[in-house]
């Protein structure tokens, strides 16, 4: 929860900085200007992370089993 609150605080600062350029949505994970992020973006980020860190890739959905 703390990380999500930090993300929201960062987005609020960015919204104020961008002013009229910020696009308000009801999404938590957005692009730099508030527009909704493409659904596959986290998948691609995670794929790149695994490749760069020599970690075996598993589907993002599988991560829920770690906890």
Which residue(s) pair with 30 in the sheet? 36
Q: Tell me: the pLDDT tens digits for 11-50?
A: 999 999 999 999 999 888 899 999 999 888 888 988 999 9
CA distance 43 to 52: 14
Tell me whether residue 3 is in a domain: no
Residue 29 resides in a domain: no
Residue 64 belongs to a domain: yes
Q: What is the pLDDT of residue 59?
A: 78
55 contacts 49 by C-beta, under 8 angstroms: yes
Average pLDDT over residues 5-10: 93
Choice between 21 and 62, residue whose per-residue pLDDT is larger: 21
pLDDT score at 67: 62
pLDDT at 58 over 90: no
pTM of the model: 0.61
What is the tally of structural domains in the chain?
1
Domain interval for residue 53: 39-67
């Amino acid at each position: 929860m703390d990380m999500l609150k930090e993300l929201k605080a960062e987005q609020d600062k960015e919204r104020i900085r961008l002013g009229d350029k910020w696009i308000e949505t009801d999404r938590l994970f957005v692009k730099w200007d508030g527009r909704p992020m493409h659904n596959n973006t986290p998948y691609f980020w995670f794929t790149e992370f695994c490749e760069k860190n020599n970690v075996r890739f598993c589907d993002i959905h599988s991560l829920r089993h770690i906890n």
